[in-house]
Amino acid sequence: MSGASMFLYVDSFLRYQKSLSTFLAAAYCGSFGLCVSLLATHFVYRYFAVCRSKTKANLYYQRFKCIY
């Protein structure tokens, strides 16, 4: 194996109920990925808000121009 990876295994009373434990493990991984992507989006937004305020204003103008 090469690169980054994450292993997750269920080792509780749920290990005997495969369908439920698989669903809960997938939901846990999905919520973790969602949190990471929301944090990344937040940092990009803050960068544009602080360092590139003129660029942000132009992006909003272009978006409203496309709507109308």
Tokens of 59: 């992006």
Instruction: Specify the pLDDT at position 68.
Output: 46
- Domain positions in the chain are 18-67
Distance CA 63, CA 68 (A): 9
- Other Cβ atoms less than 10 A from the Cβ of 16: the count is 9
Residue 3 Cα distances to 6, 19, angstroms: 10, 29
For residue 64, give the DSSP letter: H
> In this predicted model, what pLDDT tens digit does every residue of 12-59 receive, in sequence order?
887 788 888 889 888 988 999 999 999 988 888 787 777 766 666 666
pLDDT-derived band at 1 (thresholds 50, 70, 90) equals low
pLDDT-derived band at 9 (thresholds 50, 70, 90) equals confident
pLDDT-derived band at 2 (thresholds 50, 70, 90) equals low
What is the rounded end-to-end Cα distance, in angstroms, of the chain? Answer: 51
